């Protein structure tokens, strides 16, 4: 679908209040949004990768304490 309104797609808009906590409302751009996205994806992947290690460690510690 072709947009007939000139300038209607000249930026991005976020209506989620949580996004305003992360990005803020002043002086943000598409590049700042992409940087925030990359950081959040990296953090999420790090936490997902850390979860099995932490779970294993907790299980190993509880086995050691009960022995």
Q: What is the pLDDT of residues 22-44, one digit of tens each?
A: 666 677 778 888 888 899 999 99
pLDDT on residue 30: 81
Per the domain annotation, does 53 fall within a domain? yes
- Whether residue 13 lies inside any domain: the answer is no
Domain limits for position 35: 29-66
Whole-number Å distance between alpha carbons of 4 and 31: 26
Length of the chain: 67
The pLDDT value recorded for residue 52 is 95
Q: Evaluate whether residue 35 is within a structural domain.
A: yes
* Number of domains, the chain: 1
Residue 51 resides in a domain? yes
Domain contains 4: no
Cα→Cα distances 61→7, 49, 50, Å: 60, 19, 16
Domain presence at residue 60:
yes
3-state secondary structure of 64: helix
């Amino acid at each position: 679908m072709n947009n007939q309104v000139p300038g209607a797609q000249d930026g991005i808009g976020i209506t989620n209040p949580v996004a305003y906590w992360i990005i803020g409302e002043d002086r943000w751009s598409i590049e700042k949004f992409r940087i925030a996205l990359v950081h959040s994806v990296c953090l999420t992947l790090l936490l997902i990768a850390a979860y099995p290690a932490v779970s294993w460690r907790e299980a190993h510690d509880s086995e050691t304490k009960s022995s």
